[in-house]
Each structure stands twice: as structure tokens, then as C-alpha cells.
A and B are shown apart, each in its own frame.
Chain A
Amino acid sequence: MRYPRTMKHYPLTKHLRLLCAALSLFAAGAGAGAAELRIGLSGEVTSLDPQYLAAQPNLTVARHVFESLTDVDPQTRLIPGLAERWRAIDATTWEFNLRRGVKFHDGSPLTADDVAFSLARPLSIKGSPGGFAAYVRAVASTTVVDANTLRVKTKYPYGALPEDLNSILIVSKKHAQNAGPEDFDSGRALVGTGPYKFLRYQRGDRLELTRNEQWWGKAPAWDKVTLRILPADPSRTAALLSGELDVIEHVPSADIKNINKNNKLHVTQTTSWRTILLHLDQYRAQPPGVSDLNGKPLSANPFMDLRVRRAMSKAINRQAIAERVMEGLALPAANVVSPGVFGYSALKTEAHDPEGAKRLLTEAGYPNGFRVTLAGPNNRYINDEQVLQTVAQLLTRIGIQTRVEAAPMSAFLGRVRKEEISFALLGWGSFAADLSLRSLVATPNADKGYGAWNWGRYNNPKVEKLMEQALGSVDRSKRETLARDASAMAMQDLAFIPLHHQVVSWAMRANLAYVPRTDEFTFAHHFTPR
């Protein structure tokens, strides 16, 4: 086609070129800024109020919008959060220095007033079955020294205050003061300091967030984040495989192999803080479900004999459970907390030794074994029912005939509280060994708040003394040594039988990277393109 090169065409072409250049710049700009991340969560979010219910799904979404004074790195070490630094001025006084220049999503500055308000608010929330009051239990009073400094006085020397305060998310006093649950769920009161701002929420379906451009931290890579709620394992995996999601958390163990084979996706995992353990009744002479081989009650409680507990621990083949039953999603455990957690020490895992176990049983006076009933949940932990069945079979092999009673967590906990259980499975996650010991191993004491989950009512004054010293020590390194010693002592005495630490996994597109977190949290702002 002939193109007449007349003067009147030239300006048009020039304009066209400029227009194209402008359009392409615009398109490039739009493309670069429109990065979206779609995450599939595995738990049901019940409320957007960050201080109503301390459930992991609620905290996962809340931590995108809100932050706390202290933060936790992927290996569960405490790092500065909204507080740049903190120190214990004396045994019962702590001073927190807030980061300067932090603003809430509405532009107002973060002040110590907001922090003081946020620390007091959990106690005023009535009607929550699982609130945050426990985390501020030790706090006697808070004093606002100036806009960026807060002093917290504790009721007794308490070294774990920074850990506890990690769970209290800081809300804006102005917005949260008279806010009810509908205000949070509709987004009106959802004003925090975090890397993401509220956009839209459809209960039971998804939460949409947009990037907070004024955030004090390193700018997250994602403009928009969609957190979709998909508790059914196969559905979550299917959504990832079809490309509808970029990331899923808690990959079902059966799907990990297939996802790894798919070169468009990959899996990252790490040891979780969750330890699966077996509690043994150590206080009743005739624990329920325990009898001799003919069904008659025994003359004494076999679990109170350390040799019997050790025999049971030896009978369990933790390696086989980790490899076959957990399909690699477990690390055999010997300690109260997972590797890397505050107070951890590498104790020797009990080796699988059925012969040694039988010898110990005979030594303890049970050459033919006895009968027990093992109870546990079937819908709470990874492959929990299969773990129960396997442990039962392994124990039966050394002569302890074990019956399994698995039930949904709700029913199982009901029976535990009615004290109908003598041998049970529990999963426990913590980022400090002394805190774990306080709940799992300290003698139950309602006044002090000890042993709320010490179902076996294990009682060891020496362990308890070390644990109390650890908790009361505001010197962090001294506290860590004491916590380590207390855990080692508790495990030496088999306060409970540790089975394994779970492994937590995420599956995502091959061009995404995530540093896997021991505390199992999924944070959009920590995903980076690669």
C-alpha cells in the first residue's frame, strides 16, 4: 500500500507515537503495581476483633492489619515490633520504647495511650470463651511516661512478659473505644498499624486487604491480598492446582509429593512449634481404663512407676511414625519444645527398643503387661487418629494391650475434663519452654494458674521450683538456662511421653518464596517473588 509522505501526515504519526509511548508507560506502571496475592487459609475465621478470640485463624488475619509490641521471627525468637526496645528496670517493672513515626491507617500517630488502652481492653471483653486476658494476667498497671514510652508494672517478677505481650495486638483507642463486634467485622473499627488495610470481608468466604503505603516496615510486594477460607483439605489443594490460589497453608500430607512433582509449584516446610505428646494419669490409684489382662483393676497405678513410663516410651518407634504415618511431616521429639525454641536443648530421643521395654516392664512387676485405653482427638492434629492407632499397636507388641478411643476434639476434651481419661494424646505449641512447663507439667494450682493442661497431674517439686525461677527471672539468659534445665529434668522423669514435633508446610507457585515459620503463621507481607 502506498503511503503518501506529505507533511500533513507526519504530525499525526508523531502524536500517535507519543500516545503509544504514554499508553505503554501507563500499562507498565499499572502492571507493576497490580501485584496480587491469593492465599488459602485452613482455619475458620470467627471474628475480626483482634482481641476477642485467641484462635490461630483469627490471629493470622488480624496480624496483617494490626501489630504487637514485640514480634517473633520465623524461628520464634523475639524481635522488636512496635516497641523498638524494652528492658526490665527492676524485677517487677518493664519499660517499652515505641518506634517513632508509626501511624494508624487513618493517619493518626501511634502513642503510648493506644498501647495502654490495648493492654487493658482484653479484660473488659466479656463473653469470649477464649479471650486474651491470660496474656495480661501478670500486669498490675501501665503508666504512660510520654508519647513513646510505656512502663508496665507486673504483680510478681515475671520474665515472660515480652512473650505474653506478643499476643496483644495494638488497636487505635479512638476507633476501638466504643466498637462492638459488628464494627470490626464491617471494617469500620479495623484500624491498625499493620502492613495491610481492610478492603472487604465476606464472613466464611474471604477477606480482602490493600497495601498500607505508610507502613514503617519494608514495603510488602503485594498491592492486594485475598485471604480465602478453605478448611476442607482437598478443596484447598484443588484451588492451588487450578491456579485460583497462589499459596495454601497446611498442605495435606498426601498431596505434598504430587505438588513437589509439579514444576509450577513448590513446597516449603519447617519444624512447627507443635509437639505431640502423651499424658499419663499420675495421681489416681485406679485410673479409668487401666486394668490387668483379665479386666480386673491393678493393685497400683502403673503409670506412676518411671520404669513403666520409660518402657512405654521405648516401645514407640518414633522414626517409623514420622516416616510412614506422618508421611515425613514429623520430627521425633525428646523435649518439651521444638528445636530452636527458647529453652530447647538437644536431648537424646528415646530409641525404639521393644526388648528393653519388655525388660523394664518385668522389672517393674508387670511381666505379662496390662490393659490400657488410649484416648485422643481425630480431627485436630495431622493424622492424629492414625498416630493413636500406631502407638496402640506398638504398645500392644510389648504386652500393654491398648484400646483406642478417638473422638472429635469437642467430645474428647469434654471427657478429659470429666476425668474419664487416664492416657491421652495432646498437641502443644509454645515459644518458651517455661511457658509450656507451666501449663503441661506444673502441679495444677488454680490460684497460681499452673497446670491447666497437666491432665496427668504430674507433681515434681524440683521441676516446679526450676520452672518458677525461670518464669520469675527478668534476666533473659539466666531464664533460658533455668528453662532448659527444668525441661531436661521433666523429660528425664517423663512427666509426659513426647512423640514428635509436627512439621508445618506451605505450597505455593514456583515463583514465590516464603521463609517457613515455626509458629505456623502465614503472612502475606513475608511472601516475596523470586
Chain B
Amino acid sequence: MLRRLAWSAATLLVMSLLVFAGVYAIGNPVELLINPQADQAEIARATALLGLDRPLWEQYWMFFRGALGGDLGVSFAASVPAITLILERMPATLELALAAMLIAVGIGIPLGLLAGLRPHSWLARTIMTLSTLGFALPTFWVGLLLIMVFSVQLGWLPTTGRGATVDVFGIPLSIFTADGLRHLLLPATTLALFKLALLVRLTRAGTQDAMLQDYVRYARAKGLSECAVVRSHVMPNILIPIVTVAGLELGSLIAFAIVTETVFAWPGMGKLLIDSINVLDRPVIVAYLLATVSLFILINLLVDLLYAVLDPRVQAGDAR
């Protein structure tokens, strides 16, 4: 556990260094945001006030000192603490990612199971073809297509934005309102598509593999029904790789919901990141990446713990 924490801290440090250097190399956000009527003196003054004229190592050191105390800097564009902006938008992104995960898992695993149990049926072939589409079609395009069909043409669902929210322990969540679910459906489906395809393939491969194992034949010989065989013997054994992938994919869903959030104007962290990159709002970019890396680390930890539950042979921790 200790080694793991040390590795996590090192990852965060390297990440922050990379982001700092990267944004510094692109340019000066003051040039971008400065009002056109400003003259050189104004630009220089603004640059100095933000500390952007100091050498890179000095700027990083100031950030590092602040970060240790929990202060990740103040957004240039909004003049509020960067971490406040991130935390304000995090519930929306988590909501979207979890909804997408539920859709992907809820539809992907059963479909994959079906395809794996009867691999040569027309049903399986259709599912596999559709899963290829899920990989191949770009998110942006799928999102726009869904908007055009379901919102503009049919008028069944709203085009963009997040629905009405209710406060749950002080966090506004839209998943518990009917209006919120209506707004969530299209973006979650768009985001889920790739993971859905992935899970279908993975489940199918795992099922096919498991069906050929001895313990399945033995269970059938014992007299168990096909349903029971699948439920008690096949499913638990194929779940380990699926849980691994699902866990990793959840992290990437959170981090890369950017495109979906932009298309659907979903007020989440991803959209904030893109806007901040466009104006070189470095504090927000760094805060976002640190938050995301931390989430990734946390999710990996949870996945490892889940392993121990699913597979009694695995022990949580670093037992060697």
C-alpha cells in the first residue's frame, strides 16, 4: 500500500511538471486575453502581476508550494480558485461517465454473452457487426447524428444542456429528476458507444473461452441447467478481465468526456478543460489534470480491491 502511494505521488509530480512546461512553451495567456486596446505597458504589467515573466522553474516552485497547502492557483480567466471551478463541474462529468458506464455494462455484457453463447447465429453476427460500428464511428459525429434524429426531427429529447438538478448531500445531481434523465440519455449513449463495443467483444471472447473449459462440461454433466451453468460458472470467471477493462475505461470516460461535453454543451470538467486550453488558463489546466490523475489512481485502487472479492486467489495489497 505504501509503495503504491509513493508511486501515485510520483505520477502526480511528473504530470504537473509536464503540464507546466507544455503550457509555458505555447505562449503567454495575457497576449490571448488582453483587451485589444491595451498597449505594451499594460501587457507587461498584467504579465508581471500573474507572475508569468518569471523563469519556468520559479513559476513551478510557486505552484508547488501552493499545491502542498491545497491551493492550486487562481484561474486567469475567471479569477476564482481553479479547484473551485473543477469541483463545481465534477458532479456533472461523474454523472455522465457513470450513466455511460451503466449503459455500456448493462447492454454490453448481455449482448456479448448472447454472442458468445451462440457464436454462429445471425444474432451474434449482427451484434459483432454493430460493435465494429461502435469502434469505428467518431463520437462527435454520432452525437450530432443523435441530436439531429431524436431532438430536431423527432423532438423526443432535448438537444443540449443538463436537466433540472436536486441537491444530494449538497451536490447538485440531475440523475434523480425526470428532466435530468431526459437530458442525460443522448450524451450518455454517445459516450457509452465505444465502451459498449469494447465490452461486447471482451464478453464474447471470454464467454467463448469459458464455454470450452472443463468445469463447464463437468457442471453440465452434473445436471445443471444451461442458465445455471452460465450464471454460476461462466459469468464469475469472465468477469475479471471485464472488471479490469471497465475500471480503466471508467477513468478514461471521465477524462475524455470532452468531446461529448462539447457537442452536448454538458457543463462538465471536460468542456472546462478545452476552454482553458484555448485561452492558456494554466491554473485550471493543471488543476484539471491533477484531479483526473488522482481519480485514475483511486479507480485503479478500487479495481484491485474488487479483484480480491471476485477471485479468492488474489489478495489485495502487494503480497508477493
Residue B275 lies at the interface, judged by CB distance under 8 Å to chain A = yes
Residue of A nearest to B31 (CB): A413
Residue B297 lies at the interface, judged by CB distance under 8 Å to chain A = no
Whether A417 pairs with B31 at a CB distance below 8 angstroms is yes
Whether B159 pairs with A239 at a CB distance below 8 angstroms is yes
Cβ-Cβ contact count across A and B, 8 Å cutoff:
176
Residue of A nearest to B30 (CB): A129
Assembly CA distance A108 to B266 (angstroms): 38
Assembly CA distance A185 to B28 (angstroms): 26
Whether B39 pairs with A134 at a CB distance below 8 angstroms is yes
Given A203-B88, A238-B160: A127 touches B79 (CB 8 Å cut-off): yes
Q: Which residues of A contact B78 (CB under 8 A)?
A: 46-47, 181, 185, 203
Residue A55 lies at the interface, judged by CB distance under 8 Å to chain B = yes
Whether A242 pairs with B46 at a CB distance below 8 angstroms is no
Assembly CA distance A452 to B44 (angstroms): 11
Residue of A nearest to B84 (CB): A182
Given A238-B159, A410-B32, A413-B32: A130 touches B265 (CB 8 Å cut-off): no
Whether B152 pairs with A238 at a CB distance below 8 angstroms is yes
In residues 418-450 of chain A, which contact B (Cβ within 8 Å)? 428-430, 435, 439, 444, 446-450
Whether A129 pairs with B39 at a CB distance below 8 angstroms is no
Q: Which residues of B contact A182 (CB under 8 A)?
A: 80
Shortest CB distance A368–B (Å): 36
Residue B296 lies at the interface, judged by CB distance under 8 Å to chain A = no
In residues 131-147 of chain A, which contact B (Cβ within 8 Å)? 131-135, 137
Residue A202 lies at the interface, judged by CB distance under 8 Å to chain B = yes
Assembly CA distance A190 to B262 (angstroms): 28
Count of chain B residues with a beta carbon within 8 Å of a chain A beta carbon: 56
Residue B50 lies at the interface, judged by CB distance under 8 Å to chain A = yes
Partner of B80, one of A164, A167, A181, A435: A181
Residue B279 lies at the interface, judged by CB distance under 8 Å to chain A = yes
Shortest CB distance B12–A (Å): 25
Partner of A205, one of B40, B148, B267: B267
Looking at B42, B79, B162, B263, which has the most chain A CB atoms within 10 Å of its CB? B79
Whether A127 pairs with B49 at a CB distance below 8 angstroms is yes
Partner of B160, one of A127, A235, A452: A235
Assembly CA distance A187 to B255 (angstroms): 31
Whether B40 pairs with A452 at a CB distance below 8 angstroms is yes
Whether B35 pairs with A232 at a CB distance below 8 angstroms is no
In residues 12-51 of chain B, which contact A (Cβ within 8 Å)? 26-46, 49-50
Shortest CB distance B22–A (Å): 11
Whether B33 pairs with A47 at a CB distance below 8 angstroms is no
Residue A53 lies at the interface, judged by CB distance under 8 Å to chain B = yes
Whether A410 pairs with B37 at a CB distance below 8 angstroms is no
Residue of A nearest to B150 (CB): A242
Shortest CB distance B171–A (Å): 14
Whether B159 pairs with A449 at a CB distance below 8 angstroms is no
Shortest CB distance B44–A (Å): 8
Assembly CA distance A439 to B30 (angstroms): 17
Q: Which residues of A contact B271 (CB under 8 A)?
A: 204
Q: Mark B262-281, 1 if CB is under 8 A from A, else 0.
A: 11110100011001011110
Q: Mark B70-82, 1 if CB is under 8 A from A, else 0.
A: 0000111111100
Shortest CB distance B186–A (Å): 11
Listed by A's residue number, 24 A-B pairs whose Cβ atoms lie within 8 Å are: A47-B77, A53-B33, A54-B35, A127-B50, A137-B39, A181-B78, A203-B78, A204-B89, A205-B161, A205-B267, A206-B161, A230-B160, A235-B263, A238-B144, A238-B152, A242-B158, A244-B159, A410-B26, A410-B280, A414-B27, A439-B36, A446-B40, A446-B41, A452-B38
Query: Top 6 nearest A-B pairs by Cβ distance?
Result: A414-B27, A449-B39, A54-B35, A130-B33, A46-B77, A129-B33
